[in-house]
Amino acid sequence: MTAADPKSRFWSLTINSTMESVRLYFDPIRHLAQWLLKQRHTKDTTTAEEQPLPPLAARYLLELFLPKQAHELLIGDLEEEFRSTVYPKYGRRLAQIWFWTQSLHIISEIRWTLYVKVISNFLRRLTRG
């Protein structure tokens, strides 16, 4: 039989079924684990002011490498999907990982397109001259 002391969440009283041994012990780890499990299963109730923010460094890299015309369009779409779909479904950590992967993918595609344009312009000039 186990009973928790109502004054403290961290103290537990264990009594053997034959009443031979009584043990009072301090167990904060067990209670912390139970609290974490409860927090994990509670629904996220963020208000409009508390909306999750995507990683700031990833957003900065997008602004740095994207053409100015595409800033609002691409970053806005990524942030909207981050907030409305990915964050509620997978949580903060996985949503941030998703945002990073999407950002790096977009940056790599833009860099690759830029390299192809530079190389094609260079080859075009070589064939003319």
Whole-angstrom CA distances from 57 to 72, 77, 102, 103 are: 16, 17, 13, 10
Instruction: State the helix-helix crossing angle for 56-65 and 92-128, rounded to 10 degrees.
Output: 20
pLDDT tens, position by position, 37-71:
666 666 555 555 567 889 999 998 888 888 888 77
The encoded tokens of residue 7 equal 């004054």
Whole-angstrom CA distances from 35 to 1, 5, 10, 78, 106 are: 21, 17, 12, 33, 39
Q: State the pLDDT confidence band at 129, using cuts at 50, 70 and 90.
A: low
CA distance 74 to 76: 5
Read off the pLDDT of each residue in 27-44 and give the average, rounded to a whole number. Answer: 62
Q: State the pLDDT confidence band at 91, using cuts at 50, 70 and 90.
A: very high
pLDDT tens, position by position, 97-114:
999 999 999 888 888 887
pTM: 0.55
Helix (H) / strand (E) containing 11: strand 11-15
